[in-house]
Amino acid sequence: MRKILKIGLPLLATSAIWTATAFCEGGPKPSEQPKATTIQELVDRYDSSSCIECHEEAHEQWANSLHSHSILGTPRTAPTIITAMEVGVKQFPYSGAKEDKDITVEHLRMCTKCHLPQLEEATDDVAREIIATIKGWQKANKEGKEKEAEQLEETIASLNINCRVCHNKMAIIHKWADGYPQPDTVYGSQDGAHDDPDFPKMAVAPALGESIFCGQCHGQGPSFELDHPSQCATIYGSYLFAYTAEGGSESCQECHMVKSGLGHDMQSYNSEVMIKMAMDVKVEGRSLFWRKNSEEGVLPMGIINVEIANKAGHTIPDG
């Protein structure tokens, strides 16, 4: 294993560079659109409802995944964002935020960098609207106002990682070499005309089939590029440094989308299939008798050997 490791590493490094420079039909940086000024405007900009009629299966699978409600979460994420603001950002002496009205996109970015990357295209008013909506939802829940809570929950869930986020915004990683995602194109594994009038073209984005694509949000460790780094997901780091470094060769997509048969319903321990894929457990037991000393005499003893092998491509659990 050690020997393979030494030869393996430089090869992995070059293959990563080649993947990055493979052909991809991005283009020049599109001129920046005016920022979205409300949650609704941001949601409309990424509206993926037109995709449903032709890609029903992908949509159904996606709708069951956590990507379809990445700010609401299980629903543990939204309340944790509030906690991060209340006991973090608002308490820090140099954050510039003392009250909700001071919260900006930059403050939320310590979470939305991965939970809602498109928030960078919105004004600070949207950041504050998100905080107010989550707080309103928490209050309505507390007061048993079911209808109101349900409505607010829907708004929170409309902030998500959907078709357009993955197949456009996040699809191209090395933009200087491969170009920027174009507003009329969906990116996948083929080139040609595409039937959606809003997206008349489809083009190849090789990164989409590679682990690095998921790595954009699934974390390597602290997000050092932020003024105040946060750490949540670390699976991409563990995949790179503990799985591929030990000879592992499958991609996130191969395990989570293909082998699992779950496609766009990317899952973990909430799915029977993933649990079965997670580990091998071997248990061996034997009993014997042991003569301890003259007072206590012969005692029964059991020896149990447990061997657990993690078959996932990274540490489990994460976060």
Q: Classify residue 28 by burial, with Cβ atoms within 10 Å: 0-12, 13-18, 19+.
A: exposed
Taking the CA atoms of 256, 190, 58 and 151 in sequence, report the sign of the dihedral they define. positive
CA dist., res. 59 & res. 163, Å (int): 8
Residue in 26, 42, 77, 181 binding ligand HEC, rule: CB under 6 A: 77
Give the footprint of ligand HEC on residues 271-310 (CB under 6 A).
274-275, 277-278
Using H for helix, E for strand and C for coil, what is the string for 36-48? ECCHHHHHHHCCC
Sequence-ordered list of residues with C-beta below 8 angstroms from that of 152, at least 6 positions apart, any chain: 133, 136, 137, 140
Nearer to ligand HEC, 145 or 174 (CB): 174
Residue in 24, 67, 128, 129 binding ligand HEC, rule: CB under 6 A: 67
CB of 128 to ligand HEC, least distance (A): 16
Nearer to ligand HEC, 59 or 128 (CB): 59
Residue in 162, 173, 178, 265 binding ligand HEC, rule: CB under 6 A: 162
Nearer to ligand HEC, 8 or 73 (CB): 73
Query: Do 88 and 290 meet the contact criterion of CB atoms below 8 Å apart?
Result: no
CA dist., res. 21 & res. 237, Å (int): 22
**Residue 85 is a binding residue for ligand HEC (CB under 6 A):** no
Binding-residue pattern over the window 213 to 242 for ligand HEC, x denoting contact by CB under 6 A: xxxxxxx---x------x-xx-xx--x---
Stretch binding ligand HEC (CB under 6 A), from 30-38, 121-129, 138-146, 194-202: 194-202
